[in-house]
Amino acid sequence: MNLVTLLRDEGFSRISYLSEGKKHHLVLDKEEDTNFLLEWLDKTPYAIEYFPYEVKPYVMCLKEEQSLKMFLYK
């Protein structure tokens, strides 16, 4: 399943995460797909976990060197 489509269908419109003290944002446009998201992250994670029911929903991307916690916004 396309992760970006799933997130948009759930009502999320933006992803945000901190890396090296800088905040990064991605707007989930209709043209974006999972491949674009993985390119945006710069490296392909070996696992992606989705936590939609947290107070602040997020997606966790697990990579070999580090993990990214990406917050989801409606």
Q: What is the pTM of this model?
A: 0.80
CA 29 centroid distance within chain: 13
Token readout for 72 is 């989801």
Distance CA 56, CA 47 (A): 20
Give yes or no for residue 34 having a pLDDT over 90. Answer: no
pLDDT by residue (tens digit) across 45-66?
Answer: 888 899 999 999 999 988 888 8
Distance CA 8, CA 30 (A): 8
Give yes or no for residue 1 having a pLDDT over 70. Answer: no
Give yes or no for residue 40 having a pLDDT over 90. Answer: no
Distance CA 7, CA 52 (A): 9
